[in-house]
Homo-oligomer: A and B are copies of this chain.
Amino acid sequence: MLSERRLQVLRAIVQDYVGTEEPVGSKALTERHNLGVSPATVRNDMAALEEEGFIAQPHTSAGRIPTDKGYRLFVDKLAGVKPMTPPERRAIQNFLEGAVDLDDVVARTVRLLAQLTRQVAVVQYPSLTRSTVRHVELLSLAPARLMLVLITDTGRVEQRMVDCPAPFGESPVADLRARLNSRVAGRRFTDVPGLVEDLPEAFEPEDRGTVSTVLSTLLETLVEENEERLMIGGTANLTRFGHDFPLTIRPVLEALEEQVVLLKLLGEAKDPGVTVRIGHENAHEGLNSTSVVSVGYGSGGEAVAKLGVVGPTRMDYPGTMGAVRAVARYVGQILAES
């Protein structure tokens, strides 16, 4: 077990390294933090911390830098979440309140997160799976062609063309629209399949094929759109990454373009609070030198999607976690209001 002082030394190393981006030595440590002991003692502690794998030296005669394991300990035990200041909170709220629709909310959230954390921001669109149907609309575009529009409680709209197997008159369209809405409006997406399966039986035999087609299109939409969309911003912040630039940034940009990867990454974070995945804890290789700070957000108590930031493992964890948490909270409020 590590003594209290050694933990303090680790904390100091992380803080200094995050600030200066340079390996930190024993002398500098004792000067900047009043640990009450001499550099020699700190050196001994450092040797112990290195032995345990919390810190490492890039070169034999250089200072120490934290390892992924060191950051992990720092995040778990040594650092709190730094709350936003009241002016910051107000700024967040003001900025988000100007949004006109869901796209705009997401876009603003991305910008905001990127600016606050000075890192790459990732915001997932509110998930369909956990949200409810507000309205289903059915439009007749041509005798055998319908358009299905699905509106969710988060304000999201999805539309699909439906080619009918047989012409379908105006009155059955209205009938189907009314029946659909009375059954599924206000219900969760996951419940929809069970609620509509017997609908074709209510129609004339010649219309049943069309009704079935419409229903399967509806169900398809739920499933397909479950492959969530993302919005990303602040990639220019990657240029503050480090010195050995091109090699580091390349795989990160590539990973960011693979939305599947990001979605998986966000999805893996099951924690109800802010989740931090550090360096090699991220399954994707390109993100091995980055940390991902994410959290769920949603209109009610329940999280309907995730948002977060991607940055170098050497990041200001307390500040980033605070910003991510605060933004998630206010986005939730905005969604609940609209």
Contacts and interface: CB of A to CB of B under 8 A. Distances in A.
A155 B151 contact: no
A63 B20 CA distance: 41
A161 interface: yes
Nearest to A242: B246
Given A135-B141, A139-B137, A246-B245, A159 B236 contact: no
A135 B238 CA distance: 43
Contacts of A134: 141, 147
Contacts of A160: 100-101
25 contacts: A100-B224, A101-B160, A134-B141, A134-B147, A135-B141, A135-B147, A137-B137, A149-B149, A149-B151, A149-B157, A151-B159, A155-B159, A157-B157, A157-B159, A233-B257, A235-B253, A235-B256, A236-B250, A236-B254, A236-B257, A238-B253, A239-B246, A239-B253, A245-B245, A245-B246
Contacts of A253: 235-236, 238-239
Given A239-B253, A249-B239, A151 B139 contact: yes
B159 A137 contact: no
Interface string A152-173: 0001010111000000000000
A234 interface: yes
A152 to B, nearest CB: 11
Contacts of A155: 159, 161
Contacts of A149: 137, 149, 151, 157
A246 B247 CA distance: 12
A171 to B, nearest CB: 14
Nearest to A100: B224
